[in-house]
């Protein structure tokens, strides 16, 4: 296994995940506000799950996202 290649490829995956996830979350919140499902001052629980084929990895991260400071 090439440790450098592994590190680079994991970072590429995480960068894509981060960018795509942020866009999807922002759009879901905008849509929710637009449809009257959200008011814009909520605290929303977000969950992300990552699995890795060929392993028993099943990682879930849960974090609250506040729409106001």
The residues spanned by each domain of the chain are: 3-66
The 3-class SS string of the chain reads: CCHHHHHHHHHHHHHHHHHHHHHHHHHHHHHHHHCCCCCCCCEEEEEEEEECCCCCCEEEEEEEEECCC
Please give the chain's pLDDT, 69 residues, in tens: 999 999 999 999 999 999 999 999 999 999 999 999 999 999 999 999 999 999 999 999 999 999 999
0.85 exceeded by pTM: yes
pLDDT value of position 5: 98
């Amino acid at each position: 296994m090439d440790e450098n290649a592994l590190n680079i490829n994991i970072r590429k995956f995480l960068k894509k995940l981060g960018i795509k996830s942020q866009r999807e979350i922002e759009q879901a919140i905008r849509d929710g506000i637009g449809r009257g499902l959200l008011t814009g001052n909520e605290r929303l629980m977000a969950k992300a799950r990552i699995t890795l084929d060929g392993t028993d990895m099943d990682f879930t991260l849960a974090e609250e996202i506040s729409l106001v400071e």
